[in-house]
Structure 1
Amino acid sequence: MSPLLPDEAFYAGLQHLPKPRYPFPDFIHPHYQQQRKEYYDWIDREYTFHSKAAREKHKQHNLADIAARGCPFLSTLAELRPLANYTANGAMMDDYFDRCSRNEMYHITARIRSILTGEEYIEPTDNGIFHQFWILRQDAIKCAMPQRLYEKYIAAIHNVFVGYTEERTYYRANMPPPLSIYLIIRLHSSGGLPYCKYAAMQKNYRELPDDVLEHPHILRLHDLCSLLIGMHNDFISLPKELHREGDTMNLVKVIQHERKISIHEAYMEALQLHDNYLDEFMLLHQYLPPFGELQDMVYNYVQDLGIMVAGVYAWHTNDVSRYVNGGYVDGEYTSQEMDA
C-alpha cells in the first residue's frame, strides 16, 4: 500500500457508509496515560529489531489504549498491564510477522504458549516479542490474578495465535476464505476472547465460579463479543485492506468474493450480519439463565462485556493513525519459507 495514494482513491466512498453502533456507554481506565508511557518505553526497549519508522508509527497507534477502553473498571494499573501487554504486543507482532508462513507462525505460537504456561520458565535473554510475553506472565503473578482465570486467559491468547496461523494460508494464496471458514478463524484472530476472559478481573467478577464462566450461555456471549470486535475491525480496516495484496481476512471482502457483488453491497451485508450478532447479544443478555444469588452479578458482568466491545470500537473511532492512509506498519519479518 502506497502512503501517497490519494485519500479519495484510498477510501473509495466507504467513509460515507453507515457504521456500527453500540447501546453501551464509553469509559476509559483512569491510568491510561501512565499505561501509554510504559507502552512507549517498552517499544523503544523491546522492539529494537523493528525499524525506527515502525516504532514511531506504533507509538502513534496507542495500542495500550484498547485495553484501557475495553476493561476500564480494573482496579489498578498493575491489573491493566497484563491486558495491555497482550493487546499491544500481540498487535505489533501480528504486524511484524505479517507475511510469515503458516508453518513459521505455528512455531512462534508454540513458543509463546510455552512461555505463558511457565513451561519455559527462564527469562528470555533477548528483548522482543517473546520476552514481553514472559513479562506478561510475571505481571499476572504480581497482580495476584487467580490461577483459574489466568489459565482461561492464556488459553484464549493461544487460540488468537492459532487464528493468526490459519490466516496465513489465505494471505499467501491472496484468496478470501469461504464465509464459514472466515467465521471460525476470525472468532479467534479478532483477539476478543482473551478480553472476555480478562473481564472477570474487574469489580467483583472473579467471584463468579467456573459453572457460570463456562456456562454455554455465557460462552456464546463471549463468542458474540469476539465476532463483533473482529467485524468492526474489518469495517475500519477495509480501505487499507482493499489496497494491499494478501489482506483477504476481511468480512466485506469475504462476502464480496463469495456472493460476487460490489464492495458497497458486500459492506451492507456484512453490517447486517454484525447487527444480527449484536441483536443476539442483547437478547441473551436479557434472557440469562437463572444463576440464583449471582444473578445480578452475572447481569452486570455481561453488561460490562458490552461496554468492552463498545470500548474497543471507541479506540478504533478515536484512532487517527493506524488505519488511515499510510498509517499501517508493514511487516518487516523476512519469511524463510517464501513458497509455504
Structure 2
Amino acid sequence: MKTTIKDEEFYAGITELPRPKYPFPDFIHSDFQLQRQEYYDWIDKEYTFHSHAAREKHKQHNLTDIAARGCPFLKTIAELRPLANYTGNGAMLDDYFDRCTRSEMYEITNRIKALLTGDDPNEPADNGIFHQFWVLRQDAIQCGIPENLYKRFIQSIHEVLIGYSEEKVYYRANTIPPLPVYLIIREATSGVQPFCNYVALQKNYRNLPDEIFDHPYIKRIYTLCALMIGIHNDIISLPKELHREEDTMNLVKVFRQENKISLKKAYMKALELHDCYLEEFLLLQKHLPPFGHFGETVYNYVEDLGIMVAGVYAWHANDSTRYVNGGYVEGEYISPEKSEF
C-alpha cells in the first residue's frame, strides 16, 4: 500500500454503502478496561521484536475488546484472559507473519499447537508470540476451564492457524481465490470458531454434554457465525485491502472477479450473502431440535452466540484505528525462504 494516500482515494466511496445489521443486543465485559491495561503491558514486554511504531499502533487497536464484547458474561477477568490472549496475540501474529510462506506458517502452527496442548510443556525462553500462547495455557489451567471445552477451544485455534497457512498461497501469488475456496479458508481465518467454543464457558453452558456441541445444527450455527463475521470484517477492511498488494482474501474482491462486476455491485452481493447467512442463523435458532431437558439451555446458548456476533461487529463498526487510512500494522517478518509459497 502507498505510504500516503488521500482519504477520498482510500475509501473509494464505500462509506456511503449500507453495512450489516444484527437483531442481537450488544454488551461488553465489565473488566474490559483492566484487560486493556494487561494488553498494553504485554505488548511492551512480549513484543519487543516489533518496531516501536508497530507496538504503538497495536495498542491503539484495543484488540482485547473483541474478546470482552464477544464473551461479555464471563464471571471474572481470569476467565476472560485466555480468550483475550488468543484474540490479541492471534491478530498480531497474523499481522507480523503476513508475508511468510505456507510452509513457514505450518511450522508456526505446529509449534503453537504443541504449546497449547502441553505436548511441549517448556516455557519459551524468549518473550513474544510463542510465549504468549504458553501463557494462555497456564491461564486456562489456573481459571479451571473444563478439559473438554479447553480441548475444543485449542483445536479450533489450530484450525484458524491452518486457515492462515492456506491463505498464504493466494497472498504470495497475489491471486484471488474462487468462491468455494474462499469460503473454506475464511470460515477458519475469521477466527470465530474459538469464540463459539468459548461462549460455552458463560452462564451454565459448560454443563451441556459434548454431543450437543457436536450436533449438526450447532456445528452449522458455528459456521454461520464464522462466515458472518468473516464477511463483515471483509466489508469493514475493504478500503485497506483495495490498496494493499496481495490482500486477496476478501469476498468483495472474489465477487468482483468471478462476476466481472463493479466494486459497488460486488460489495452489495457480499452484503446479500451475509444477510442470507443471518437469515439462516435466525431460522435455525427458531427451529432447534428439542434437546430434551437441555432445550432451554441450548436456546440461550445460541442466543449468546448471536450476541457474540453482534459484539465482534460492534468492535469492527466502532473501530477508528485499525482499518482506517494509515492505521494497519504492516507485516515486519522477512521470510528467509526462497519458495514461492
Q: TM-score range by the shorter chain?
A: over 0.9
Is the 1:3–1:325 contact (alpha carbons within 8 Å) kept by the matching residues of 2?
Answer: no
Classify the secondary structure of the residue corresponding to 2:200.
Answer: helix
- Partner Cα distance (1:106, 1:218) in 2: 28
- Partner Cα distance (1:172, 1:209) in 2: 42
Q: Equivalent residues in 2 for 1:264-283 (5 A)? A: 264-283=264-283
Q: Equivalent residues in 2 for 1:115-134 (5 A)? A: 115-134=115-134
- Partner Cα distance (1:145, 1:322) in 2: 31
Q: After superposition, what is the alpha-carbon deviation per residue over 1:5-50, rounded to whole angstroms, capped at 9, x for unaligned?
A: 0000000000000000000011000000000000000000000000
Is the 1:2–1:326 contact (alpha carbons within 8 Å) kept by the matching residues of 2?
Answer: no
TM-score by length of 2: 0.99
Q: After superposition, what is the alpha-carbon deviation per residue over 1:236-262, rounded to whole angstroms, capped at 9, x for unaligned?
A: 000000000100000000111111111
Partner residue, 2:301: 301
Q: Which amino acid is 1:144 matched to?
A: G
- Partner Cα distance (2:3, 2:227) in 1: 30
Is the 1:47–1:127 contact (alpha carbons within 8 Å) kept by the matching residues of 2?
Answer: yes
Residue 282 of structure 1: how far off its partner (Å): 0.2
- Partner Cα distance (1:313, 1:271) in 2: 14
- Partner Cα distance (2:166, 2:311) in 1: 27
Partner residue, 1:220: 220
Whether 2:293 is the aligned partner of 1:318: answer no
Is the 1:3–1:327 contact (alpha carbons within 8 Å) kept by the matching residues of 2?
Answer: no
Name stretches of at least 5 consecutive residues in structure 1 with no aligned partner: none
Residue 131 of structure 1: how far off its partner (Å): 0.3
Partner residue, 2:157: 157
Residue 2 of structure 1: how far off its partner (Å): 2.8
Q: Equivalent residues in 2 for 1:22-171 (5 A)? A: 22-171=22-171
Partner residue, 2:237: 237
- Partner Cα distance (2:16, 2:209) in 1: 45
Is the 1:229–1:313 contact (alpha carbons within 8 Å) kept by the matching residues of 2?
Answer: yes
Alignment length, in residue pairs?
340
Q: After superposition, what is the alpha-carbon deviation per residue over 1:153-187, rounded to whole angstroms, capped at 9, x for unaligned?
A: 00000000000000000001111100000000000
- Partner Cα distance (2:196, 2:223) in 1: 9
- Partner Cα distance (2:330, 2:257) in 1: 24
Identical aligned pairs, as a percentage? 68
Residue 3 of structure 1: how far off its partner (Å): 4.3
Residue 298 of structure 1: how far off its partner (Å): 0.5
- Partner Cα distance (2:185, 2:104) in 1: 18
- Partner Cα distance (2:127, 2:214) in 1: 36
Compute the RMSD of aligned alpha carbons: 0.6
Q: Which amino acid is 2:169 matched to?
A: T
Q: Which amino acid is 1:188 matched to?
A: A
Q: Which amino acid is 1:244 matched to?
A: R
Q: Which moved more, 1:3-12 or 1:145-154?
A: 3-12
Residue 292 of structure 1: how far off its partner (Å): 1.1
Q: Equivalent residues in 2 for 1:152-191 (5 A)? A: 152-191=152-191
* Runs of 4+ deviating beyond 6 Å: none
- Partner Cα distance (1:201, 1:28) in 2: 16
Residue 211 of structure 1: how far off its partner (Å): 1.4
Q: Which amino acid is 1:241 matched to?
A: E
- Partner Cα distance (1:158, 1:298) in 2: 25
Classify the secondary structure of the residue corresponding to 2:123.
Answer: coil
Partner residue, 1:21: 21
Residue 4 of structure 1: how far off its partner (Å): 2.0
Residue 202 of structure 1: how far off its partner (Å): 0.4
- Partner Cα distance (2:160, 2:297) in 1: 28
Partner residue, 1:255: 255
